[in-house]
Structure formats: C-alpha cells, structure tokens
Chain A
Amino acid sequence: MLTIRTFLVRGLLAGLIAGVLTFGMAYLVGEGPVSAAVTLEGHGADGHHHAAPAAGDGAGAPAGGIRMSTAYEADDELVSRADQSTWGLATGTLVVGLAVGGLVGLATGVAFGRVGTRTAQGTSALCAALGFGAASLVPFLKYPANPPSVGQADTIGARTAAYFGFLGLSVLAVLAAVVAARALSRRWGGWNAALAAGAGYAVVMIVAARLFPVVDEVPDAFPASLLWSFRTASAGVQLCLWGVAGIALGLLLRTPVRRHLAARAGSAA
C-alpha cells in the first residue's frame, strides 16, 4: 500500500545519500575557494569578532588583505578551520540533505499521479528539478553565493531578509505555476500548459528581481577568479544535492510502486 509515509521515508533516505555525496562534492571542489577566501580575510584585519566596518573599511587594511568580517583569527577561534572544513561541513550538508530529501519526498507523494509524468522516477525527478530551480538556481541568479570576506557584517539582517524573501516568493510562484499548469492542461494539453506556466513564473520572478534590493558588497580587492571558482563550486554543490536526491528517490520508489501496481492489477483481475 502506498502512503505518504512511503514517500517521506524514502525521501529522507535519498536525502541522506544526497547529503553524503554533496559533502564529497563540497569538500573536493568547494573547500579550495572557501579556504583561499578565509586566508584573504585573515590577512585583512587586526580586529577579531565582527570588526566594525566603519573603521578601516578597505582603505586602511594592511597590504594584501581584504577586510575582516568575522572571527577566524587563530588565537580566539571558536571552531578550527580543520573542523569547519570537515565535520562542520559534513553536519551542514547531511542536515540539509535530509531536509531537502524529505521535502522532495513529500512533494513527490502529493504530485504522484497528479502531474503529467507516468513513472515514479519521472515524478521525483520533476519535483527535485522544480525544487532546485525554485529554491537554489533562481535565488542564486539574484543573490549569488558569497565566499568568506565578502559581505558586510552590518547588512546581514537586510541580506538575509531579501534572500529568504526572494526564495520564498520563488517557491510560492512555482507552486502556483504547477497548479495553473494542471488546470490549463485539460484545455491546452500538457506541454503547452507547462510552457505557459513556466513563462508566467519567469515573468513573476523577473519583475520581483527588479523590485528586490540590490546586494553588491564584493570588495574591490577581492580576486575575480576566486569569486568565480567559489560561485561555480557553490552552484555545483547545490545541483549535486537536489540532483542526487531526486534520482535516488526515484530509484528507491521503483519497488514499492511496482508492488502496488501489481497488487492492484491482481485484485482487479
């Protein structure tokens, strides 16, 4: 018997797998740029915890340094770089993997049989792809990920509100687009309805991107190539997370769905 429990349990399992692989990806391609940015940051300041940006903002920093915006100094660090780049990174990726996997599982359970896909793998791939687009890719286009030493400590409140506001709006817009596509598909057919709904989502998010505040806090001295490698690594990490969760969930759902269909065919005969 298929219930929402089937989907939640397998979603969590798929998320765990995704979390493990995402840790590997983040460690291999992400830690290089993160550590390089932390090193820049450490050289850039004589202060410690969240040094006031008003004092020597850039101009007064020692040669080779950028700016200090958080605590990395070896003498008073709370968590060592060695822990941050291994156990800390693993904690973050596993918890986010579980959460994303569980949410994709729940979404797949609700979408099951209600969208145009005919297979468990198609439905979970669709849900993960929409989740990636709505919660990672589109927010990334407006507010790209920033490495350590980019971002002023005193604007964290406004930046956090803008980021999550944009992300929340994007998720709501995708949910609305799916509902609209389902309603339109009866008259227009699946493809046309999906294209129309996708266009509607794009218009909403382009208008929102114009209206939401601009964040531009990359210091002039920050190396452009390091920013690029950090951001491409971040995009890859997020794609890995959602992609593996969606693929693993589809594989994990094959057996219970096949059993369910076989039992239904058996009872109908």
Chain B
Amino acid sequence: MTAIPFSPPASALPATAVPAVPALPVLPLRQALPWLFFAGVLLLLALYFVSAEQGAVSVFSGTGVHEWVHDARHLLGFPCH
C-alpha cells in the first residue's frame, strides 16, 4: 500500500530529518506572554482611536479626533457616522 506523503508541520519533524531548509525556531510562549498582552492592548487602543473614537462611543468629548481621522476611518472601512 502506498501512502501519499504529506509534509508534516516543522515541529513534528524528527531531529534527524532536518531538510535543506532548516526548521524555524519556536519561541517559548511563557516568555512572549507579557509582551503579547501589553503590546496587544496598546496597539488595540491605538486602533480604537482611529476606528471608533467619537463615533458610537467617546473617551474625549467633542468631534475633533473624529473629524481629524475622518477620511482614514471611511477608507479603512470603519463605520464613521
């Protein structure tokens, strides 16, 4: 019986079967977690100010932020007004 060989994920390769292209290193998640959390929150906050601030909800009163990023908000596909 001939099985069609699928290429297994890099992490599943045995150490002896390293192909011409070496397997990519895997970063330990435990070390990455605080970076993921902190940077992720900051980047999502930045996205919020361009995409939604002073639309349905406002952190700052007025419409200055909304009007300033108005064209980008429309063209990036976010509901604007």
Q: Measured between alpha carbons, how far is A140 from B74 in the docked complex, in Å?
A: 12
List residues of chain B with CB within 8 A of the CB of A230.
74
Contacts of A154-198 to chain B: CB distance below 8 A: 156-157, 159-161, 163-164, 182, 185-186, 188-192
Binding site for A on B (CB under 8 A): 6-12, 21-27, 29, 31-32, 35-36, 39-40, 43-44, 46-47, 49-52, 55-57, 63-64, 67-81
Inter-chain CB contacts under 8 Å: number: 205
Report A's interface with B, CB cutoff 8 A. Answer: 2-5, 7-8, 26, 30-31, 34, 49-50, 69-71, 77-79, 83-85, 87-89, 91-93, 95-96, 98-100, 102-103, 106, 109-110, 112-120, 123, 136, 139-140, 143-148, 151, 153, 156-157, 159-161, 163-164, 182, 185-186, 188-192, 230, 233-235, 237-238, 241, 257, 260-261, 264-265
Q: Among A84, A92, A113, A144, find the residue whose CB has the most chain B CB atoms closer than 10 A.
A: A92
Kindly identify which residue among B51, B52, B56, B74 contacts A34, using a CB–CB cutoff of 8 Å: B74
Judge whether B12 and A88 touch: CB under 8 Å. no
Are A106 and B36 interface neighbours, CB within 8 A? yes
Cβ contact within 8 Å between A261 and B7: no
Chain B residues with Cβ under 8 A from A190's Cβ?
A: 6-9
Q: Which of B25, B31, B74 contacts A112 (CB 8 A)?
A: B25
A106 touches B68 (CB 8 A): no
Question: What is the bound-complex CA distance between A261 and B18, given in angstroms?
Answer: 12
Q: How many Å lie between the Cα of A88 and that of B49 in the bound state?
A: 13
Q: Is the CB of B80 within 8 A of A83?
A: no
